[in-house]
Amino acid sequence: MTELDGTLTDLARMRSVGEPIVSLYLDVHWADEQQRERVRLFVHERVRQTLAHYPPGTPDRPALDRTLHRVLDHVARLTSQEEAPEKHGLALFACEALALWRPMSFRRTFTPELCTDGIPHLTQLARLADDFEPAVVVVPNQAGADVYEVRLGDLAVESSLRGFVPRREKDTFDPGAARPGQHFERQEKDARHQDTFIRKNRRAAAEEVQALLARTPGAHLVLVGTAGNVAAFERALPERLRARVIARLPRPREWESADGARRDGVVAGAAEAVAVHEREAERRVIEALVGEALRGGLGVVGPEDVVQAVNEGRVHRLVLEEDFQRAGWQCDRCTALGASHGADLCPYCGGDLHTVQQLGEALVARALAGGGEVEVVAHANRLHGYRGVGAFLRQTAATGLRGASPPWPTAPGASQP
């Protein structure tokens, strides 16, 4: 779960029957003037192409024209900056009729896209929320630990949990050559005294990390440091938190140079650890989904079965390949979706249909609006064999019971006895 979940749900519930909603994704991490110019030209060209589909006199053309020019002004201000923005990706959703203007910046870049539709296009934003799950990076040491909270690929919270550690006196205490045994006894006592403080600091740091993870459900734990410090700190954690450790990394030498290098290293290390964990998690999710579907459990694969489950409100988690491309239809009366070709009337209510060019975006918006989750995965042969889409279900049938579906249509707005 991330702080984007609420934003995604709010955007997914937005619909516009007049002026379309503008969705813009940009890579604003330019290394030279040519890249900056390419961003500006891309937006200008896409705006020109969009307005060409709405000739003068078309209803809602004036409002759309104002919205697109506002987008152009926003991008112009962005590209006129002398230095590149700190954030590398821009997502913007706008619609004058809905009083919608929501620009968001992130560390991760996006594939450039500008489109207009009756719904916001959220697949790239959902992929960001899924890939950049929150992570807590802990760097344990004798005085406690340095803790960094990374959200959406950016450093959100930094804290230093340090306690008192007494100095060992072996370097300053000299009992003399005549009494060597006293030196050994004092040194041992000093070491035990110091170890007591180290264990106390470690327990205090572990308790603070435990409280932080309790406030951040779903956050992963990444431990950085020497093998001894990491192992000792991990032993101080309760078992349920040890299960959330996804990586144990050595402390990079460049972290000692400056705080900026350390912070960048924390973000990069957390991102890499989460990415590796996410790739493995995607593989397990796809295997579990296909297995559930093949044995008739709480899973379906393939566009037709997924669309039916979405129409019936049974989708718990939609799993979609990032390169999923398919057209479909939507009913003007009951808003049901369809993946089949050649249909003239809605099979649920008999209403007129209109073409949906990007069925994947419609499925993402419908799943999020219904309180479901969306997992956008990399191209995988296992899921691609079922045309790149599947879903875990809340229930196997619209009745909520296992068995046959009811003998009447169950899509939104459908007539029922």
Domain segments of the chain: what residues?
1-132, 135-281, 296-417
Which residues are CB-neighbours of 171 under 8 A, at least 6 positions away? none
Residue 165: predicted pLDDT: 46
Q: Report residue 317 as tokens.
A: 């988690």
Strands 353-356 and 328-331 turn out to be: antiparallel
Give the pLDDT score at 266: 79
pLDDT at 163: 53
Architecture of domain 296-417 in CATH?
A: 2-Layer Sandwich (3.30)
- How is residue 86 written in tokens? 């700190």
Q: What is the pLDDT of residue 185?
A: 52
Cβ-proximal residues to 5 (8 Å cutoff; 6+ apart), any chain: 129
Start-to-end C-alpha separation, the chain: 40
- Locate tokens 């950016």: which residue? 154
Q: How confident is the model at residue 412, as a pLDDT?
A: 46
Distances, alpha carbon 256 to alpha carbons 164, 261, 410, in Å: 22, 8, 62
pLDDT tens string, the chain, 417 residues long: the values are 456 878 999 999 999 988 999 999 999 888 778 888 999 999 999 999 999 998 888 889 999 999 999 999 999 998 887 666 678 899 999 999 999 999 999 888 899 999 999 999 999 999 998 887 888 999 998 878 888 888 866 766 677 765 544 555 544 445 555 555 555 555 555 555 567 777 888 888 889 888 888 888 788 999 998 899 999 999 999 999 999 999 998 887 766 655 555 677 777 888 888 888 889 999 999 999 999 999 999 999 999 999 999 999 999 999 999 999 999 999 999 999 999 877 889 998 999 999 999 999 999 999 999 999 999 999 888 999 999 999 999 988 765 434 344 454 444 444 454
| pLDDT at residue 170, as a whole number | 47
Cα–Cα dist 14/117, whole Å: 11
Query: How far is C-alpha 28 from the chain's CA centre?
Result: 19
Q: What fold, for 1-132?
A: 3.30.960
Among 3.10.20.30, 3.90.180.10, 3.30.420.60, 3.30.420.40, what is the CATH number of 135-281?
Answer: 3.30.420.60
